[in-house]
Amino acid sequence: MARKIKLFDATKCTGCRACQLACKQWNNLPAKQTENRGSYQNPEKLSPTTWALIRFDEVDSGVNGVKWLFRHEACMHCTDAACVKVCSTGALYKTEYGTVALDSGKCNGCKECVSACPFGIPQYDPSTQKVYKCDMCLSRLDNGLEPACVKACPTGALRFGDEDEIMSAARERVAELDGGGYLYGDKFVGGTGMLYILQEKPTLYSHLPTAPSVPTSVIVWKDWLKPLSLIAPGGVLAAAFLHYLIKGPKVVEESSLDKKGDA
């Protein structure tokens, strides 16, 4: 099956939050009382019950003056997904669509994915001892539907489809914008399953890493230390066995009894 990816085109987003609401509704997630923090931002950030939201940033973009930026934040569905690499239970897994799904029934709340994710997506809920995140609406994909957020988007800022189709559409759009659009997501973690067309440089968006990668700690841990945890003890056992065969156990000789005993 061709890989499916989602495209968020910030130049078409009006910040209506239909995606945010559709996500809550499809996934049966409770809403929270809104709070005035001096901006439109509500809820403040992703949580165990908020898997997608619009980030509102007011930034000084320099020559273009102060800008109000919107960003659809949800799981990026990385090709090299650090969360899948560290997941101790196999609850996080790659689907046939190339997306990263989460089987909550399997999750044991070890939180390894929370520290591994370069985008800060998985959210731990202490009350259920489980982690939650966007699964690109796997239940909808399995039935040939697009994710709920994409379905709900009234402006066409969110699109979903086969990787080739979405990639070429994204490149076309960036060319069309003629320097007014920045493609984000094609150059790191093997490519993300959600692409952004941003209207300003990625550095101006809050909570958006400019060079995300699978953390070095995860690579050292999973690629080096994990195999070593079996190889080293195996080597020790083999060495002990050879020692037993070649040098033999350290036996206290009968003859040494008298000599040392008298001393």
Residues that bind other proteins (CB under 8 A): 86, 88-90, 106, 108-116, 120, 124, 129, 215, 217-218, 220-221, 225-226, 228-230, 232-233, 235-237, 240, 243-244, 247, 249-252, 254, 256-258, 260-261, 263
Answer yes or no: are the C-beta atoms of 16 and 36 closer than 8 Å: no
Q: How far is CA 49 from CA 23, 171, 194, 196, 238, in A?
A: 10, 33, 20, 23, 51
Closer residue to other proteins, CB minimum distance, 67 or 111? 111
Give ∠ CA 250-252-258 in degrees, rounded to 5: 160
**Least distance in angstroms from the C-beta of 49 to other proteins:** 17
Which residues 6+ apart lie within 8 Å of 88 measured at CB? 108, 110, 112
Q: Give the C-alpha separation, 120 to 138, whole Å.
A: 21
Closer residue to other proteins, CB minimum distance, 1 or 230? 230
The position carrying tokens 């050292």 is: 220
**Least distance in angstroms from the C-beta of 93 to other proteins:** 11
**Least distance in angstroms from the C-beta of 161 to other proteins:** 32
Q: Name which of 121, 136, 148 is nearest 209 in CA terms.
A: 121
Closer residue to other proteins, CB minimum distance, 190 or 233? 233
**Least distance in angstroms from the C-beta of 233 to other proteins:** 5
HSE (CB half, 13 Å, CA atoms) of 170? 28
DSSP 8-class letter at 36: -
**Least distance in angstroms from the C-beta of 262 to other proteins:** 8
The position carrying tokens 């520290």 is: 115
Answer yes or no: are the C-beta atoms of 94 and 1 closer than 8 Å: no
Closer residue to other proteins, CB minimum distance, 180 or 233? 233
**Least distance in angstroms from the C-beta of 152 to other proteins:** 31
Closer residue to other proteins, CB minimum distance, 35 or 254? 254
HSE (CB half, 13 Å, CA atoms) of 139? 7
Give ∠ CA 171-172-176 in degrees, rounded to 5: 120
**Least distance in angstroms from the C-beta of 151 to other proteins:** 32
Q: Give the C-alpha separation, 182 to 203, whole Å.
A: 11
Closer residue to other proteins, CB minimum distance, 68 or 241? 241
Closer residue to other proteins, CB minimum distance, 168 or 256? 256
